[in-house]
């Protein structure tokens, strides 16, 4: 392929919104389909990667892909109504078109996880990328040992994908999959209470042979790192996703630069997934 024919890293694809499903007061799930059949056939992503969603005349926002990487031609985004662009996305009706660039970022190294138990720990919106990790493990069940997912939110009605996970529970138990959902600040919630660390005893995994994928606020990472290392989890297999303000999404603008002058990374290109050693050795990562 000549240089002129190489696709630009900024190439934007038209995608049609097929379905919109309200998950919580603030978040909805959006199902998109690529308009171009060629793109629909070839487009692939890894769990933990994100896309830039653009609305003409309004701007772009980075959003994690939350669906199964197995689905061809379709993908889902769980989007919080947070501001200018995301509120406009929430107003879209099925049939509307958006622009999609990506997938960008490194994603979770799923192949390194093969053969190990898997522990996913999500807080709040962190459940969006981790849903994709979890679905990957379900789609490739034979490649993993025992699986635990801990989904947490401040309030019970803020738990993302709560009904979906609840509905999987019976079959999950038979498949050595443990699903834990907990509200951290909701005395009225009828399910479990407390942070993820409080429920780690429900994780049916072997710390020495377990890969850990986490997504949530930095405060959660600090607490979880201490807990996991103390319990004997292998730091080489502990991964988290980091969120930073982004513009280009491809390592060109410097907007998402983190670290110091001698040791730095671009969250969009080197991340958003980082391992335990990167997180603990680069100042400012969390």
Ligand X SMILES: Cc1cc2nc3c(=O)[nH]c(=O)nc-3n(C[C@H](O)[C@H](O)[C@H](O)COP(=O)(O)OP(=O)(O)OC[C@H]3O[C@@H](n4cnc5c(N)ncnc54)[C@H](O)[C@@H]3O)c2cc1C
| Residue choice 43, 50, 75, 274 for contact with ligand X (CB under 6 A) | 50
Minimal distance, residue 50 CB to ligand X, in Å: 4
Could you tell me if 135 and 165 are in contact, meaning their C-beta atoms sit under 8 angstroms apart?
no
d(CA 235, CA 229): 7
Helix, strand, coil abundance in the chain, percent, nearest 5: 30, 30, 40
- Residue 127, interface with ligand X (CB under 6 A)? no
Pick the closer one to ligand FES by CB: 119 or 285.
285
d(CA 203, CA 227): 13
Strand partners, 247: none
Backbone angles phi, psi at 215, to 5 degrees: -150, 120
> What sign results for the dihedral spanned by CA atoms 194, 198, 202, 203?
positive
| Residue choice 84, 208, 231, 236 for contact with ligand X (CB under 6 A) | 84
d(CA 179, CA 172): 8
Count other Cβ atoms within 10 Å, centred on residue 36: 13
For residue 103, whether the previous peptide bond is cis, meaning omega lies within 30 degrees of 0, is yes
d(CA 108, CA 113): 9
| Residue choice 17, 45, 48, 64 for contact with ligand X (CB under 6 A) | 64
Question: How many residues appear in the chain?
Answer: 286
Pick the closer one to ligand FES by CB: 200 or 246.
246
Minimal distance, residue 252 CB to ligand FES, in Å: 5
- Residue 255, interface with ligand FES (CB under 6 A)? yes
Minimal distance, residue 1 CB to ligand X, in Å: 29
Please list every residue from 209 through 248 that binds ligand X, using CB under 6 A. 243-246
Q: Which stretch binds ligand X (CB under 6 A): 56-64, 111-119, 206-214, 273-281?
A: 56-64
- Residue 63, interface with ligand X (CB under 6 A)? yes
Could you tell me if 62 and 56 are in contact, meaning their C-beta atoms sit under 8 angstroms apart?
no
Pick the closer one to ligand X by CB: 62 or 156.
62
Task: Return the one option of ligand X, ligand FES, none that residue 251 interacts with (CB less than 5 to 8 A, by type).
Answer: ligand FES
Pick the closer one to ligand X by CB: 43 or 104.
104
Binding site for ligand X (CB under 6 A): 50, 61-64, 78-80, 82-86, 125, 128, 243-246, 272
Binding site for ligand FES (CB under 6 A): 246-249, 251-256, 266, 268
């Amino acid at each position: 392929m000549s240089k002129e024919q190489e696709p630009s890293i900024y190439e934007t694809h038209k995608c049609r919104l097929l379905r919109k499903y309200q998950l919580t007061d603030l978040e909805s799930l959006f199902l998109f389909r690529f308009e171009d059949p060629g793109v629909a056939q070839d487009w692939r992503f890894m769990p933990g990667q994100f896309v830039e969603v653009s609305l003409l005349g309004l701007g772009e926002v980075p959003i994690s892909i939350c669906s199964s990487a197995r689905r061809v031609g379709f993908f889902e985004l769980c989007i919080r109504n947070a501001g200018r662009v995301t509120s406009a996305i929430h107003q879209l009706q099925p049939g509307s078109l958006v622009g999609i660039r990506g997938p960008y970022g490194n994603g979770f190294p799923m192949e390194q996880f093969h053969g190990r138990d898997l522990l996913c720990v999500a807080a709040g919106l962190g459940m969006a990328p981790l849903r994709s990790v979890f679905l990957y493990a379900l789609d490739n069940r034979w490649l993993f040992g025992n699986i635990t997912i801990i989904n947490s939110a401040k309030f019970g009605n803020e738990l993302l994908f709560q009904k979906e996970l609840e509905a999987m529970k019976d079959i999950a138990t038979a498949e050595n999959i443990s699903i834990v959902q907990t509200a951290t600040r909701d005395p009225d919630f009828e399910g479990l209470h407390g942070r993820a660390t409080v429920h780690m005893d429900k994780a049916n995994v072997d710390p020495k042979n377990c890969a850990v994928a986490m997504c949530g606020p930095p405060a959660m990472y600090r607490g979880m790192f201490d807990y996991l290392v103390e319990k004997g989890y292998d730091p080489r297999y502990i991964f988290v996703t980091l969120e930073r303000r982004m513009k280009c999404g491809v390592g060109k603008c410097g907007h998402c630069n983190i670290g110091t002058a001698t040791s730095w990374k671009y969250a969009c290109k080197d991340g958003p997934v980082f391992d335990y050693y990167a997180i603990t050795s680069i100042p400012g990562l969390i």
